[in-house]
Amino acid sequence: MQKPFDLNKFRTGLTKSISGISAGFHDPQDWVSTGNYTLNYLISGDFKKGVPLGKVSVFAGESGSGKSFICSGNLVKNAQDQGCQVVLFDSENALDEEWLQALDVDTNPEKLLKISVSMIDDVAKTISDFVKDYKSNYGDLPYEEQPKMLFVIDSLGMLLTPTDVDQFQKGDMKGDMGRKPKALTALVRNTVNSLAPHPIGLIATNHTYASQDMFDPDDKISGGQGFIYASSIVIAMKKLKLKEDADGNKVSTVQGIRAACKVMKTRYSKPFESVQVKIPYETGMDPYSGMVEMLEAKGILEKVGNKLSYVSPITGEEIKEFRKGWTGDKLEIIMQEFGQNPKKDNDAEDDIDVGELDNFNEEDLIDES
């Protein structure tokens, strides 16, 4: 009988001889919550997960749409709660310590390294040096024993190339649109494979601009498509007005924003679904916003008269409440049972667009003038 080829021996020799590769599967083991359960679910298929370590995630949107709130605030805070140390690149000179602390981010220098940066090359060099040092110190340890790290770049759109700086110094502002997309693509291509075997995540914010294509009306993300191709998760965000009080009653004044989030790309769930995440100015993000609409769209909550009804697939017990009565404690019951029995819904050959990202009134837009 012919002796089979020793693939394990080949794998060991290969990874030792070529430093730039890693063998085997690298499915995410650690996830960081966005702070909103519905958005978590649309990204990862799990209410409590969110975005994974070991991958690249991008949140893109217009100014004031909640990108920094989610990425530099919620994701950093939740990552720290899981024992992650965070390196935060601030290219907009906008992330003040007082603001981060108001979002419960621990700004202790041992847990958060904030770097003000303007050049793409400097971000790439910092990440490259870190990964090289990380691998030399922890690369041989089991995954569970490796320290968790999170890089956040806020934002890609403000990063410059050497040509941009040179033109500024000469007073000749022609721009460098050709090299910037290539530089961003090179950054993520070099980063994505180096992160994979380790509990290190990269999250970036970026800017969007209005599409000029009538057949493809979704907003476009600046910086070219290369960054998008290499990212595991891409979220497009739009800023809408929040005109309701803490009890959900309609009011005439703007009380916050509704961050309309559309999952443009995900490797862990069905893409092109959306949710409107409420972020009141006074209380911050509502972790349950969008949940009732999603459960109703999936047939988990069914309209009975003027109430919404839920029948437990486990106990058979029925809970019936007015729409405003479906608050956190009751939604937690559904989240737990739905996680055990995800096929109960109507499922979902229909697209779920609970946030109506594409169907909002012009008056909902926040005026920047």
pLDDT at 127: 94
With cut-offs at 50, 70 and 90, classify the pLDDT of residue 85. Answer: very high
- Tell me which of 51 and 171 has the higher pLDDT: 51
Half-sphere exposure of residue 280, counting CA atoms within 13 Å on the CB side? 15
Q: H/E element holding 154?
A: strand 149-154
Model pTM score: 0.87
pLDDT tens-digit series, residues 297-313: 999 999 999 999 999 98
- Tell me which of 20 and 198 has the higher pLDDT: 198
Q: CA-CA distances (angstroms) from residue 142 to 14, 132, 145, 263, 335?
A: 19, 17, 5, 33, 32
pLDDT tens-digit series, residues 57-72: 999 999 889 999 999 9
**Residue 356: is its pLDDT beyond 70?**
no
Q: Worst-scoring range by mean pLDDT, 171-180, 257-266, 332-341?
A: 171-180
With cut-offs at 50, 70 and 90, classify the pLDDT of residue 222. Answer: confident
Question: Domain spans of the chain?
Answer: 26-288, 290-357
Average pLDDT over residues 127-139: 92
219: amino acid identity, one letter = D
pLDDT tens-digit series, residues 22-77: 778 889 999 999 999 999 999 999 999 999 999 999 999 998 899 999 999 999 99
CA 340 to centroid of chain Cα atoms: 24
Instruction: Supply the CATH classification number for the domain 290-357.
Output: 3.30.250
- Tell me which of 43 and 174 has the higher pLDDT: 43
Percent pLDDT > 70 in the chain is 89
Closest CA to 177 of 229, 222, 212: 222
Domain 26-288, CATH number (from 3.30.1950.10, 3.30.70.141, 3.40.50.300, 3.20.20.70):
3.40.50.300
**Residue 340: is its pLDDT beyond 50?**
yes
pLDDT at 163: 80
Distance CA 263, CA 266 (A): 7
Listed in sequence order, the residues at least 6 apart from 261 whose beta carbon sits closer than 8 Å to its beta carbon are 39, 42, 235, 236, 237, 274, 275, 276, 277, 355, 357
pLDDT at 359: 46
Average pLDDT over residues 119-142: 92
pLDDT tens-digit series, residues 102-125: 999 999 999 999 999 999 999 999
